Structure 1
């Protein structure tokens, strides 16, 4: 059902969401660490 609606499997969707969240967190962490130096 999920794949019919979204075009991707639930596992693929969850993986993509986690990677996106991790990338955002890395970017924010990088910005914060640059400010402290």
Structure 2
């Protein structure tokens, strides 16, 4: 795993079935937060 990936994605994978769609949504939300700052 690359250091740029936040731990939230890992948590999402643990909470959910680990579908690619869920991961993509998580990445998009994180990117939006990072870009918002």
Which consecutive residues of structure 1, in runs of 5 or more, have no partner in the other structure? Answer: 1-5, 28-37
SS in 2 for 1:18: helix
Q: Flag the structure with more relative contact order, 1 or 2, with Cα contacts below 8 A and sequence separation at least 6.
A: 2
Structure 2 gaps of 5+ residues are 1-12
Q: Which has the larger radius of gyration?
A: 1
**RMSD of aligned Cα (Å):** 1.3
State the 4+ residue runs in structure 1 displaced beyond 2 angstroms.
none
More helix by share: 1
How many residue pairs align between the two structures?
Answer: 22
TM-score, normalised relative to structure 2: 0.52
